[in-house]
Amino acid sequence: MSLTVRPVRGRRDLDAFLSLPARLDGAHPAFRTGLREDLLDALSDDNPLWAEGRGERELFLAWRGETPVARVLAHAHLASNLRHGEPEVGFFGCLACPDEPATLAALLDTATAWHRARGRTRLRGPYDLTITGCIGVVTAGFERPASFSQSWSAPHLPRLLEQYGMTVAYTATTLRCDDLSIVDEQSMLGPKQRAWLTEPGVTLRTFRMDRFEADMFAATDLLNRSFSDNWGFVPMSEDEVRFIAAPMKRVVRPELTVFLELHGRAVGVGLFLPDFNEVFARMGGRLWPLGWATFLWHQRKVRAAVAQFIATDPTLQDKGVMRIIVAELVKNLKGAGFTSLDGTWIGDSNAKSLRTAESVGMREKHRLAVYQST
Ligand SMILES: CC(C)(COP(=O)(O)OP(=O)(O)OC[C@H]1O[C@@H](n2cnc3c(N)ncnc32)[C@H](O)[C@@H]1OP(=O)(O)O)[C@@H](O)C(=O)NCCC(=O)NCCS
């Protein structure tokens, strides 16, 4: 039966788009479902990423007769194109495809044509959805399921992308420490760190829920300033932060975010979360019909944490601040009963972060690659 690729239109298509990864890859032992509502929100018009002049997207499904067999998102993040002087780049993401070169080619030909019609000639991805989210396909570590904020993809995808003629644009790693009890947070504090901690005006504190928005903005301000030179980075706008932070209000664990302040000004932050994927798996990837109460009840029992990001004020880097924050977070994680720590991706060019991750016993979990057309 012949294959057709069509844009997603209507509820039935959208449902097929959201369900496709589980249908294709659900039998793989490392497959874990994300939260359906999360992706729906991210793709909806409510996401400021898609506001007029900032970005655009089209969801595509490949059909064989009445059966959806593959999916891809074609999207543009215009702030990224502008910041990096790459008006020719169009992203793809949400890739799910069987081990069929012709199906992948049909999907990516469609995404390419969609971008070309809008003046963009180079396809790059996967991006789910921007550089501050999940990027890349997994190229090693397929046997390890993704934790929250990590991606997992089927083992055949790198080969299919290469057969299609794409080349690797960037590589990254996710890391994991299986057993936090072997990490001695006190020994992470050397003379540099101890000197900081006796400095007048230096304080460590956890996230304050009574000033949720102010703390969220303090954290993302540090993220925006410190990540500025990282590959592909685009600062997050206030409305993007608000959009992403809104659902987090219910789930942030204050003790898993630590600020280091200098005379009341945040100069370093580490933001960790429980591994919500464990909860999503129990709920079958849907909030409905059990809702937030069930989610919150299950999430208290999660013993795995995921580092979302760590950032130090650019004027104070290489002075030992990150180690202080990480040591404090390890102490808090253990105190709250967490036994393992994962991290979101770290680019291969980010030697400092890789070094610190290794110093807390984290080891490579997945290798990731972002591909692009030539
Ligand atoms: C990564 C980051 C948080 C580090 O913060 P920091 O306060 O400068 O880090 P520290 O001074 O505590 O420690 C840096 C470590 O990297 C080491 N390091 C510095 N440059 C390095 C290099 N080029 N290669 C390898 N290691 C390096 C330092 O020796 C130090 O290790 P040590 O503590 O064992 O001596 C900071 O650079 C940052 O905010 N970067 C941008 C955001 C980012 O990439 N965050 C991490 C990904 S989530």
pTM for this model (two decimals): 0.95
Cα–chain center distance at 168: 19
Which residue is listed with tokens 């506001």? 51
CA of 363 to the centre of ligand 1 (A): 17
Rounded Cα distance between 160 and 253, Å, is 40
CA-proximal residue: ligand 1, atom 1 (nearest): 353
Give the CA diameter of the chain.
73
Ligand 1 touching residue 345 (CB < 6 A) = no
Residue that the structure tokens 């990590």 belong to: 150
CB of 186 closer than 8 Å to CB of 327: yes
**Tokens representing residue 297 in the block:** 């009840």
Is 188 touching ligand 1 by the criterion CB < 6 Å?
no
Distance, in Å, from the CA atom of 367 to the CA atom of 268, rounded to the nearest integer, reads: 27
Question: What's the gap in Å between 239 CA and the centre of ligand 1?
Answer: 29
Residue 185: count of CB within 10 angstroms of its CB = 18
Lowest mean pLDDT among 163-177, 221-235, 280-294, 343-357: 280-294
Helix pair 212-226, 238-248: axis angle to 10 deg:
130
- Residue 256 in this model has a pLDDT that exceeds 90: yes
- CA of 355: how far to CAs of 5, 119, 311, 352, in Å? 44, 41, 14, 5
Mean pLDDT of the 235-261 span: 92
Name all domains of the chain by residue range, CATH numbers in brackets: 3-175 (3.40.630.30), 180-365 (3.40.630.30)
Q: What is the pLDDT of residues 167-208, one digit of tens each?
A: 999 999 999 999 999 999 999 999 999 999 999 999 999 999
pLDDT at position 287 over 90? no
**More confident of the two residues 62 and 290:** 62
pLDDT at residue 86 tops 90: yes
| Extended beta strands in the chain, E state | 3-7, 55-64, 67-77, 89-96, 122-125, 127-128, 134-135, 137-140, 167-177, 202-206, 257-262, 265-274, 304-312, 340-343, 346-347, 363-372
Residue nearest to atom 48 of ligand 1 (CA): 309
Amino acid (1-letter code) at residue 23: R
- Tokens 């798996």 appear where? 281
Q: How high is the pLDDT of residue 289? A: 61
**CA of 324, closest atom in ligand 1:** 12
Residue 27 has a pLDDT of 96
Tell me what pLDDT residue 290 has.
65
Nearest atom in ligand 1 to the alpha carbon of residue 193 is 12
